[in-house]
């Protein structure tokens, strides 16, 4: 089984357009969108979700208001300023420049997509004189270190695993796809990437598919390392700009470090031929192969508008270039 990972060093180079076209050209590959912080392959491939799994990672502190005696030890010990002391109706969340909580029908609690409901509930409890003072953990600031749990004299702090995102197994018109969504502020995208790749490998084995195509994240951080480690080949899609050249150098250093064969493709190469040549010569110098060039073509935007891969539009110049890159890869 072969696993090709498409990365970019920097964002916005056309990596996902390339992946969508590869998916169309391969026909029978398993697809994995490992750009979990900002997944967008689904915008082109319009997947039908067949399976949905929670991704839990790390822990978060949640104060049980009924058991808290208000000693303030958690506030004093938290190094991340995640514990907040709310002073009932005097708190600026409820008065002063902000609108007071009218204890309506829990609209905020039901609609909050990022689990701020824990905080909202505690604030509501401390409002209306139900509880003059309350200590509450801001879930977006809590780093899950556990110090407050240890410091609380009455063990009033729960410490459950944190819901950080979801991952999905879907069907697309070009084959099965595993993809994910990290909740804003959710941590450990590298672990979620590993989960996505693992699920893609399992599907490939079950279906006896020989190829996995991975849409990797930008940058050179943890999520990229989790995307490329153990891959058969990495294709780096870059653009002929100074920042494209700079980020390509960093990402090729990474692939060299992990001993992964790397190829380079300059997208929109005709916008700066001199820079393209400079990039290709530098890539060769550090041991990467040149997979080809893709010219600037407004049909790429047209394909995006139509929710298609570029190669699905007939007779486009960029589509021809991508086919040539695919053949070489």
- Between the alpha carbon of residue 186 and those of residues 19, 58, 166, the distances in Å are 25, 10, 11
- Among 21-29, 119-127, 135-143, 254-262, the segment contacting ligand SF4 (CB under 6 A): 135-143
User: Which segments of 27-131 does DSSP mark as H helices, in order?
Assistant: 41-45, 73-77, 107-111, 117-126
Q: What would the x/- binding string for ligand SF4 be over residues 140 to 169, using CB under 6 A?
A: --xxxxxxx--xx-x-xx------------
Q: What SS3 state is found at 322?
A: helix
Largest CA distance in the chain: 71
Q: For tokens 């190469």, name the residue.
A: 269
Torsions phi, psi of 271, nearest 5?
Answer: -75, -20
- Candidates 38-46, 73-81, 88-96, 184-192 — which segment interacts with ligand SF4 by CB under 6 A? 73-81
Restricting to residues 40-69, name those near ligand SF4 by CB under 6 A.
61, 63, 68-69
- Residue 94 exposed, middle or buried by CB count within 10 Å (0-12, 13-18, 19+): buried
CB of 65 to ligand SF4, least distance (A): 9
Nearer to ligand SF4, 83 or 311 (CB): 83
Eight-class DSSP state of 92: T
Q: Considering only residues 6, 41, 83, 291, which one is a binding residue for ligand SF4 as defined by CB under 6 A?
A: 83
Least Å distance, CB 58 to ligand SF4, is 10
> Does 199 engage in binding with ligand SF4 (CB under 6 A)?
no
Which residues share a beta bridge with 30? 212
Query: Is residue 215 within 8 Å of 33, Cβ to Cβ?
Result: yes
Q: Site for ligand SF4 (CB under 6 A): which residue of 11, 51, 52, 72?
A: 72
What does the DSSP 8-state code read for residue 269? G
Closer Cβ to ligand SF4, 117 or 317, answer by number: 117
Using CB under 6 A as the binding criterion, the count of chain residues that bind ligand SF4 stands at: 28
**Would you tell me which residues interact with ligand SF4 (CB under 6 A)?**
61, 63, 68-74, 77-78, 80, 82-83, 135, 137, 142-148, 151-152, 154, 156-157
């Amino acid at each position: 089984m072969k696993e090709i990972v498409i990365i970019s060093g920097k964002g916005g180079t056309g990596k996902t357009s390339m992946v969508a076209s590869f998916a169309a050209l391969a026909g029978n590959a398993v697809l994995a969108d490992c750009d979990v912080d900002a997944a967008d392959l689904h915008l082109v491939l319009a997947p039908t979700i067949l399976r949905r799994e929670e991704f839990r990672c790390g822990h978060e502190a949640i104060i049980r208001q009924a058991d808290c005696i208000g000693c303030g030890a958690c506030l004093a010990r938290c190094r991340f300023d995640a514990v907040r002391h709310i002073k009932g109706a005097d708190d600026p969340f409820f008065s002063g420049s902000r609108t007071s909580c009218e204890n309506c029908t829990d609209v905020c609690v039901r609609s909050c997509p990022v689990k701020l409901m824990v905080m909202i509930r505690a604030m509501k409890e401390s409002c209306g004189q139900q509880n003059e003072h309350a200590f509450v953990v801001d879930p977006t600031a809590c780093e899950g270190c556990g110090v407050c749990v240890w410091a609380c004299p009455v063990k009033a702090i729960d410490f459950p695993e944190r819901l950080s995102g979801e991952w999905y197994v879907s069907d697309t018109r070009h084959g099965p796809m595993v993809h994910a969504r990290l909740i804003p502020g959710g941590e450990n995208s590298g672990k979620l990437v590993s989960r996505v790749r693992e699920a893609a490998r399992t599907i490939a084995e079950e279906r006896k598919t020989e190829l996995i195509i991975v849409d990797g994240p930008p940058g050179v951080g943890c999520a990229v390392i989790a995307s490329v480690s153990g891959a058969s080949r990495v294709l780096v899609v870059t653009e002929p700009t100074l920042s494209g050249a700079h980020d390509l150098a960093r990402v090729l250093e990474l692939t060299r470090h992990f001993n992964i064969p790397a190829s380079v493709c300059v997208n929109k190469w005709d916008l700066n031929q001199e820079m393209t040549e400079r990039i290709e010569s530098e890539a060769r110098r550090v041991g990467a192969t040149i997979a080809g060039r893709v010219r600037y073509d407004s049909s790429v935007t047209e394909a995006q508008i139509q929710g298609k891969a570029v190669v699905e539009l007939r007779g486009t110049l960029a589509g021809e270039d991508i086919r040539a890159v695919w053949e070489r890869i």
